Structure 1
Amino acid sequence: MSPLQRSVYWRLALVFFFLSFLFFLDVFAAAVVVVSCRRVNGTMAPTAGGGQSRLGESSESGKRDSVCDWTDWLPYGQTLYMVGLLLGSLVGGAISDRYGKRTVLLVCVYVHAACGLVPAVLPQPFLYLAVRCLTGVCCCCVNICSFSLAVEWTLPAARLWASAFLPFCFSLGTMGGAPLAWLSSTWTQLHLSLALPQLVCLPLYLSLPESPRWLLLRKRTKVLERYECNSPEDKHCLELLLWSDLQKDSEPQKEEPPGGHAPSDIIIHLKHPTVLLRLFIMSYLSAASALTYFGICMNIGSFGVGVYSAQFFSGLSEAPCLLVPLVRLGRRPISMLALFLSGAACFLSLLLSRCNADPVLVMSLALLGKLCILGALFISTLYSIELFPTVVRQRCASLVNLSFRLGCLVNSLVPSTPNGAISLAAMVVYSSGPMVGCGLCLLLPETSGVPLPDSVEDCERQPRPRPPNMAALWRARKLMSRKPETLPSETEDTHTHTHTH
């Protein structure tokens, strides 16, 4: 890897490591507030694992948290966070196309870190809910820009590693945030422990480079020349990344306006049948994956451990996704395999849970389904970047991300039985969604090792799946079913060959 590539990867790794801290903040906040508020009554606060908390002290040993006066507002924090993720899906792609992925990423990372600090300084209910919504917007924009930036700085043969590496860092952050939250005894300590590490690392992100393809499309050649002068390895890397653009013999295109492509050009690209078909399929895959993933997470049941241990092992179960790129298959086969295994494992796990089967077997199948659907999610994220032309790539990625967020919200509407068990309707939704998506993947082209498309014409040139020629297959089957002695052509060819000699 060149120095600029390493600079992109390790900085984005830090971003995703800290991104998980505030993603699960509401889970930690509820546990910490319950314990700290019960402490003032001199009672022992029970933990999620059934034991007594280490914080069960008398009222004289600590100061009452002001959050105890508005604990009823805390459950709305996660709802507002999901709304923020939805809003970020609407605006993240458009503003990154206009102002650049690096600029939007830096702004959102700085705001995200500040959002973790504000509730510690000003613990007010309305301010907390507004900050959670803003945190969700920043988190979604960071996701959109980071994946695109990592993929566009990666050679075609290794793109899958870039999209697998970022979720792996997020899983590490899930495991790292749980001990920090466990060591926090009050509301203020919780937010400070999760926000201060992000604030310390903020200066490291300033040297993050911009996407070379975005710079080339915006005719910012001076920045590209500065990147090339950084080192010979960087120059060679940029030549490899942009070889399809540097070797084009196409007609000279008219220069872009400062604001980017004209709205009419963008609409024409979005209305193209190829783009619409791919957008529909990827949107469905994202929504179905969100339904299955969060359905497994919320209905997997209790494993008899505390909330902090549960979060740690939840992150640990997702870490093996880093090994998915070792599977030497294309984007489409891996997606189909992951979706099929997720649907099958989810169905078996939920079915066995209703039959009161061995909890170890149920948990193993559920974690397998969660692992597979997470693999399908990051592959679909990479797939979404590779399927759409550069002109509308971020907008299409935002729409696909919007479908994912809608799937998260719809998941709360999936019915359950009165006794808390998973209903038959939920079983059908969680298992059939990935199965249908597995079939839709057959309509997508294979993008592994293919340069990123810059226009609809480039999308048309991508390898397309061809339906089998049934007539040719039938003729081949009849030919293979005939006995060797009944093949006159073969006998004649043999006699002719002998006579010639």
Structure 2
Amino acid sequence: MSPLQLSVFWRLSLAFFFKPFLFFLDIFTVAVVEEICSRGNATSNVGTLTRNQSEVEDLASKESDWMTQNVDRDSVCSWTPWLYYGQSVYMVGLLLGSLVGGALSDRYGKCPVLLVCVHIQALCGLVPTVLPQPVLFLIVRCVTGICCSCISNCSFSLAVEWTTPSFRRWPTVFLGFCFSLGTMGSALLACLSPSWIQLHLTLALPQFICLPLYRSIPESPSWLALMGKSDVLHRYCNGSMADKQCVDILLGSKKLENQKCTGDQKYLPPSDLYPFRHPTVLLRLSIMSYLGAATALTYFGICMNIGSFGVNVYSAQFFSGLSEAPCLLIPLVRMNRRPISMLTLFLSGTACFLSLLLSRYQCDSMLVMSLALVGKFCILVNIFILALYNIELFPTVVRQRCISLVNLCFRLGCLVSTLFPPDAEGSISLAAMLIYSSGPIIGCGFCLLLPETSGKPLPDTVEDCDRLKG
């Protein structure tokens, strides 16, 4: 790998490692606040219970620790019901980020949008420690969701556009592996943070400290070429021989030479309705939008209800991240985009359905959770493949816009997944599990309508998309 490629990947991997810290914050926040409030109730009612002196002193000591952190326990506990809306509000933020992120990236570049979002996200993580107010907390969660969505879109595109065609399967999988490591790390840190302030500081400070490391992320060479920014491209090429060879391979020497003549020409992006005017682009956009919504429903439906399987929430979250770690081996599977998408969709739907059946027959909770995690792993594999498929299916002129529309449907699926709370017994409802299992299986048939893109150059124009048919 060239120095420029390494510069891109290690920075993006850092951003993806920290993403779960605030992504799953609502799960940890609810658990911590419920524990604190129940502990406070136990202390206030100690006179009516039979306890020895050491137990009373222990409860009083814990209560004192909480009060010394300048957070009024009574006020936090009084707005505990608001916390249950945090997950839905965060999903709304992800949806809004999908609406605006693509257009901003197409116009201003992926790096500026990425840099702004990582800074805002880190700041949002610290705000609840200073101002623990319910309305402000929900606003911050929404803004965090917007930033997270933009970070995901820009990171995946940057990583793939800095990779040669034969190795394009690695970037999305590697970033997903970093996300899995971050999921496990966030569970461990949250388990060691028994209070509101400690939880938010522990999960936000590492991101804040690492902000200077995100500077000087190289911009996408395809976007620079399309926008006529030949001066930046030639600066990349002058860095080292490896960088020059990398840019020449990604763009083609002829394309780079053409930029010398067209560097002063202003590129005008197509209108926002352009993707809907071409049958090929519209068909791909419709199929990928459905697949995005179906995979989001299954993945986040299991992720956000991980505590409904009768296992400790911190342990469940840790093993949830651990179950995703084998995704790093996906590029070693010698299958093209379409067959592996169909296989993972089918396996995911089947595993979720079996998990549903076993839960109805009161089987062991660990077995039920294991099957659900197998389904989640398979759908995660499919999400990585679809993230790559999205980039390869749409032309450069509207790529980020089309990806944003697909991500909009993906985020709608995330939002809908919050509408299926656990049933009275605390387990995932029958209707939810049927939706989680049937959506991916139906998506298998739609994959047959997509072309195979493995090992082929990224399309720059609609004409390139037409040549990719079949």
Supply the distance in 1 between the matched residues of 2:134 and 2:438 (Cα, whole angstroms): 40
**1:76 deviation in Å?**
1.9
**Secondary structure of the equivalent of 1:207?**
coil
The residue number in structure 1 matching 2:48 is none
Q: Does 1:13 align with 2:13?
A: yes
1:210–1:378 Cα change, 3 Å: same
Displacement of 1:307 in angstroms is 1.9
Q: 2:372 aligns with which of 344, 366, 369?
A: 366
Of the three residues 269, 273, 282, the one matched with 1:261 is: 269
* Separation in structure 2 between the aligned mates of residue 280 and residue 255 of structure 1, nearest angstrom: 36
2:294 aligned residue: 288
Deviations 1:389-421 (A, max 9, x none): 011100110010010111122234459876566
Q: Any conservation in 1 of the 2:110–2:220 contact (CA below 8 Å)?
A: yes
Instruction: Tell me how far 1:352 sits from its aligned partner.
Output: 2.1
Counterpart position of 2:36: 36
Q: Does 1:396 align with 2:405?
A: no
Query: Which amino acid is the alignment partner of residue 201 of structure 2?
Result: L
TM superposition shift of 1:24:
1.0
Question: What residue in structure 2 maps to residue 187 of structure 1?
Answer: 196
| Post-superposition CA distance 1:408-441 (Å, at most 9, x none) | 2223445987656656544442222111211111
Instruction: Tell me which amino acid in the other structure corresponds to 2:294.
Output: A
Higher relative contact order (CA 8 A, sep 6+): 2
Aligned residue identity for 1:453: P
Q: Quick check: 2:126–2:201 contact (8 Å CA) kept in 1?
A: yes
* Distance of aligned partners of 1:206 and 1:422 in 2 relative to their CA distance in 1, 3 Å threshold: closer
When residues 60 and 349 of structure 1 are mapped into structure 2, their CA distance, relative to the original with a 3 A threshold, is closer
SS in 2 for 1:357: coil
Decide which of 50, 58, 63 is 2:67's aligned counterpart.
63
Q: Trace 1:325-336 onto structure 2 (pairs within 5 A).
A: 325-336=331-342
Q: 1:280-319 maps to which residues of 2 (within 5 A)?
A: 280-297=286-303, 302-319=308-325
Aligned-residue offset at 1:361: 3.7
Q: Distance in 1 between matches of 2:392 and 2:107?
A: 19
Q: Tell me if 1:440 matches 2:446.
A: yes
Q: Which residue of 1 aligns with 2:98?
A: 89
Distance 1:136 1:172 in 2: 20
Task: Kindly indicate whether residue 141 of structure 2 is the aligned counterpart of residue 129 of structure 1.
Answer: no
| Equivalent residue, structure 1, for 2:52 | none
CA-based RMSD of the aligned residues comes to: 2.7
Identify the range of structure 1 (331-340 vs 343-352) with the bigger mean alpha-carbon deviation.
343-352
Q: Are the equivalent residues in 1 in contact too, given 2:66–2:195 (CA < 8 A)?
A: no
Can you list the C-alpha shifts for 1:338-377, whole angstroms capped at 9, x where unaligned? Answer: 1111111111221222133344443332221111001001
**Structure 1 length-normalised TM:** 0.84
Identity in percent: 66
1:184-241 CA-partner distances (Å, limit 9, x unpaired): 2321121111111111111011121111111111111111111111111010001000
List runs of 5+ in structure 1 lacking aligned partners. Answer: 46-51, 466-501
Q: Is the 8 A contact 2:26 2:86 kept in 1?
A: yes
Aligned pairs (5 A) from 1:214-293: 214-243=223-252, 246=255, 257=266, 260-263=268-271, 267-293=273-299
Given the superposition, is the C-alpha separation of residues 77 and 364 from structure 1 closer, same or farther in structure 2, using an over 3 Å criterion?
closer
- State how many pairs are aligned: 452
Residues 311-345 of structure 1: CA deviation (Å, up to 9, x unaligned): 11111111111111110111111101111111111
Q: Give the match for residue 350 of structure 1.
A: 356
2: CA distance, partners of 1:75 / 1:218: 44
Q: Distance in 1 between matches of 2:18 and 2:421?
A: 34
Q: Deviations over 1:447-483 (max 9, x none)?
A: 1111110101111122x33xxxxxxxxxxxxxxxxxx
- Which of residues 104, 108, 115 is equivalent to 2:113? 104
The structure-2 alpha-carbon separation of the partners of 1:270 and 1:253, relative to structure 1 and needing over 3 Å to count, comes to: farther
Q: C-alpha displacement at 1:178, in angstroms?
A: 1.5
Per-residue CA deviations over 1:49-82 (Å, capped at 9, x if unaligned) read xxx9xx8444445416233443232222222111
The amino acid across from 1:339 in the alignment is L
Q: What is the SS of the residue equivalent to 2:291? A: helix
1:270/1:392 contact within 8 Å kept: no
Secondary structure of the residue aligned to 1:450 is coil
Q: Residues of 2 paired with 1:429 and 1:210: CA distance?
A: 40
Deviation at 1:172, TM superposition (A): 0.5
The amino acid that maps onto 1:78 is Q
Equivalent in the alignment of 2:124: 115
- Separation in structure 2 between the aligned mates of residue 279 and residue 255 of structure 1, nearest angstrom: 33
Cα distance change on mapping 1:236 and 1:106 into 2, 3 Å:
same
Structure 2 CA distance for aligned equivalents of residues 276 and 189 of structure 1:
48
Change (3 A) 1:43 1:145: same
Q: Which has the larger radius of gyration?
A: 1
**Equivalent AA in structure 1 for residue 172 of structure 2:** S
- 1:484 aligned residue: none
Distance 1:57 1:313, change over 3 A: farther
Structure 1 pair 188–423 and aligned structure 2 pair: CA distance change class (3 A): closer
Q: 1:74: which partner in 2?
A: 83
The 8 Å contact of residues 330 and 448 in structure 1, kept in 2 or not, is answered as: yes
Of the structure 1 ranges 347-356 and 308-317, higher mean CA displacement relative to structure 2 is found in: 347-356
Give secondary structure in 2 for the equivalent of 1:453.
Answer: coil
CA contact (8 A) 2:324 2:377 kept: yes
